[in-house]
Structure 1
Amino acid sequence: MYTFSNRLKIGALILIGIGMLGMGIGFVTAPSSVEDAKAMVAAHDEEGQGESHAEDGDHGAALADHSMVAEHDAAHDEHLLHQLQNRPWSALYVAAFFFFMISLGVLAFYAIQRAAQAGWSPILFRVMEGITSYLVPGGIIIIVIFVLSVLHWNHMFVWMDPEVVADDALLQGKAGYLDPVFFLIRAVIFLGGWILYREISRKLSLAQDAANDDSNFKKNFKWSAGFLVFYLVTESMMSWDWIMSVDPHWFSTLFGWYVFASMMVSGITVIALITIYLKSKGYLPDVNDSHIHDLAKFMFGFSIFWTYLWFSQFMLIWYANIPEEVTYFVTRIEDFKLPFFGMVAMNFVFPVLLLMNSDYKRINWFVVMTGIVILAGHYMDIFNMIMPATVGDQWYIGIPEIGAVCFFAGLFIFWVFRALTKAPLQPKRNPFIEESKHFHY
């Protein structure tokens, strides 16, 4: 039975404390008026940290042609205020979704292993079950953020503002789907279905340890196969609702797969990191280099898959050069050049170079180093999905962003490792457990 060490527990609690402090500072220092927003931007410009807002002037040119300079200035100032007010909320949401995404990706990978009746992975099932336990607190936090968004505590989802919709014919056409109440109902259904499968599968997994036959294993197989159908539909809809709708004028038919690839590679990476950590502490004695090698192969493979989807989405939109589509990437290349191209290097170039060689996949510290870069890269990927639409060019990595990552990293570590103490780390009566123990090639 795994024992949650005091050192790890204290470290997680310290991260939570630092994160709460950082997020608190972000919310407290957010401007409350247009004057505050202007003063904040001016101060950052003087320090050389801010970016000019010439881009917003493009919108002003069209308005000036209609003799509406004063109205444009007022609209620009209000837009600037909303961007700066959104920053701590967006930092919170990016980190909340990133760690929730890891847990959901592991749940999908776990269900795939059970539905495929894989022989190599049962020895890792309890690690996966521990990671998926985070779905409950992580999901609740996201639902709370959505409720507060519907109540207009922030401006991250512009389609939730009736005044914006009233002046936007395109959003009016999407109003039947992008409805705040319907949005919350869908989110609850998605989350409820994911957590329901996780709890049922976990219960059957533990029951199989004490059973005299394989009936619980067979039930788990059926539940896992059914869940994967539910997951494939709801994951795509979730990506439209929770991420793509922050840019409600833009859409991509590849977006659900794109988020799926990021989710899977991040989840598998965390499985590898936690497995290596537990192995180093004397737990999971039957885990060998072949298990780590297979996890690293999945890290490598899904990194390639993510890159394929990223390039396909980018290349097709860039080549077609349709204004309402290409503006998504123009904004990110102009205002987010470093994180935009940096995350491509971190999510593709780095893992390909380090994990191409089969021998390197068996070296624990090599896998850990690559995994840390992959996780940082996919955090930046989520950052690039959310921030351009919510804060525009008023972004930078500061106290709110670092605080949010610390808080959710601490909560994730605390909750997952606490869950790992609730059951033996190695299943006893899984029909494939002996094959998994002696997995070598």
Structure 2
Amino acid sequence: MATLTHQNSATAEQLVVTDGARKTFITIIVAGVVVLILGLIAAIFHIGEGEHAAATEAAGHLGASAGHGAGASVHHEGSPVWQKRVLVSLWHSNIFFLGVSTIGTVFMAINYVAYAGWSVMIKRIAEALSAWIIPGAVILLVVFLLGRHDIFHWTHEGIMDKGNPNYDAIIAGKSGFLNLPFYLIRTIIYLGIWAYFSWKLRQLSLAEDQLGGTVWFHKSINVSALFLVLYAVTSSMSAWDWVMSVDTHWFSTMFGWYVFASWWVSGIAAIALTAIFLKQAGYLKALTSNHLHDLGKLMFGFSIFWTYVWFSQFMLIWYANLPEEAVYYNQRLGGFEGRYTGIFFFNLIINFVFPFLGLMTRDAKRQMIIMKIVCIAILIGHWSDFYLMFMPGTMKAESGFLIEIGIAAIFLGAFLMLFVRRLASASLVPVHHPFLDESVHHTT
């Protein structure tokens, strides 16, 4: 009696990157550059701002003269608004893409330690997501070194020195953690751990493809277990360092979970969207609506989880009504003449209401068109979630969208180039994975 083998159930599939695909990526980058230039022109010449620009400038001078109290608008000397917006936007989009990139490795590691078989068909997509970690790490360090004064209030000159006019007692009390050498050391450790384990799991996966056998699978489980322990710590700490310390006076004990939830559901959406595009292009022949159904359940469930963390954080701060905690939401709900109120509610609608209603039924999770729309909405929604985390604490009332969207498009085009190149460098189907048959015959 014949035995079913991996080669009979699913064969290797090599992605061919067409000239059309490359042109699309370049077009996205060029479009981003054009939008960025338009945004810079509008910001430099105050186009479309009218009387609000003068009012904002006056408010900025008043805030600067009032000192460094909570919520004061303090501008780093020598940095025009447009330059500050560029630096903050680079930080914003890079943190988003870097987090999504690392989630590919997290997803893969979780499936290894859980001995999950269903996800083998999309394993190479998760592997390829990590292609942005090294470039993202370099960009993050460069932007921090060049623009830290425009992004992080705690890096300002003399802010932790008693007797200095810029002295801030609250920030000085955090100097043991928020100081330049320790901050850089931590950041390098986070990025080094994420990059190393992403590389290691990729190498084990490629070795399994070439040499066969289960030894690589068992090594991957051990590596994944260690990575998940380290990621659990570094993901929360990176959220404190890279995101929460923007609002230096404010803190939340749930913030690490909140940022992770945003990264995680965005990463799942990126994997699902890629799987759909590959399937529609004729690849991943063994991918079925059952795989999409499971990805849809993950997006549905973790959109609710993100909302749970969001609401828990908001509700506890609202209920306590302590000024040092409530200032974070006051700035986003009605602060700066209501500048962020619209995006605050848009954030809830696109990240909770839309995925919840869109993916509620079983059939919706199995339809490519619905899944594609929801995936795109989730990615846009959580990019805007990070926008809301960064802009009120950095740009105050001087934020905008043209510069930010232009830079996001440039990042997207560059990310897709590296991501697709990594996808094309190995078979889309890990033909020697011991659970491949289980994935091919997966049903839900």
TM over 0.5, yes or no? yes
Cα distance, 1:54 vs structure 2: 11
1:3 and 2:25 are equivalent in the alignment: no
Alpha carbons 2:92, 2:386 under 8 Å: kept: yes
Alpha carbons 1:23, 1:92 under 8 Å: kept: no
1:329 and 2:334 are equivalent in the alignment: no
1:141 and 2:143 are equivalent in the alignment: no
Could you tell me which runs of 5 or more consecutive residues in structure 1 were left unpaired when the two chains were aligned: 32-38
Alpha carbons 1:95, 1:405 under 8 Å: kept: yes
> What percentage of residue pairs aligned between the two structures are identical?
41
Q: Which amino acid aligns with 1:2?
A: L
Alpha carbons 1:83, 1:390 under 8 Å: kept: no
In the other structure, the counterpart of 2:251 is 251
Alpha carbons 2:36, 2:406 under 8 Å: kept: yes
CA distance in 1, matches of 2:54, 2:443: 54
Q: Deviations over 1:43-89 (max 9, x none)?
A: 7124xx759549959976995xxxx9xx99xx978579665542121
CA distance in 2, matches of 1:420, 1:291: 19
In the other structure, the counterpart of 1:156 is 151
Q: Which of the numbers 104, 107, 119 marks the counterpart of 1:106?
A: 104
Q: Deviations over 1:142-192 (max 9, x none)?
A: 121112135x5xx11111112333310111111121111221111111111
CA distance in 1, matches of 2:65, 2:320: 25
Alpha carbons 2:108, 2:123 under 8 Å: kept: yes
Cα distance, 1:409 vs structure 2: 0.7
In the other structure, the counterpart of 1:414 is 417
CA distance in 2, matches of 1:430, 1:57: 59
Q: Deviations over 1:2-41 (max 9, x none)?
A: 001111111111222333454456567766xxxxxxx849
CA distance in 1, matches of 2:145, 2:123: 34
Q: Which of the numbers 349, 357, 360 marks the counterpart of 1:356?
A: 360
Matches within 5 A, 1:232-243: 232-243=232-243
1:365 and 2:369 are equivalent in the alignment: yes
Matches within 5 A, 1:47-126: 52-53=55-56, 56=59, 78=75, 84-126=82-124
What is the CA RMSD across the aligned residues, in angstroms? 2.7
Change (3 A) 1:51 1:208: farther
CA distance in 2, matches of 1:51, 1:370: 40
| Runs of 4 or more consecutive aligned structure 1 residues displaced over 3 Å after TM superposition | 20-31, 49-63, 75-85
Alpha carbons 1:44, 1:50 under 8 Å: kept: yes
Alpha carbons 2:350, 2:377 under 8 Å: kept: yes
1:44 and 2:49 are equivalent in the alignment: yes
TM-score of the two chains, using structure 1 as the length reference: 0.89
| 3-state SS of paired residue (1:163) | coil
Cα distance, 1:93 vs structure 2: 1.6
CA distance in 2, matches of 1:210, 1:78: 56
CA distance in 1, matches of 2:90, 2:395: 13
CA distance in 2, matches of 1:124, 1:241: 32
Q: Which amino acid aligns with 2:97?
A: F
CA distance in 1, matches of 2:22, 2:210: 30
CA distance in 2, matches of 1:11, 1:57: 41
Q: Which of the numbers 407, 411, 418 marks the counterpart of 1:404?
A: 407
CA distance in 2, matches of 1:121, 1:233: 25
In the other structure, the counterpart of 2:431 is 428
Q: Which of the numbers 371, 392, 397 marks the counterpart of 2:396?
A: 392
Change (3 A) 1:29 1:370: closer
TM-score of the two chains, using structure 2 as the length reference: 0.88
CA distance in 2, matches of 1:148, 1:439: 50
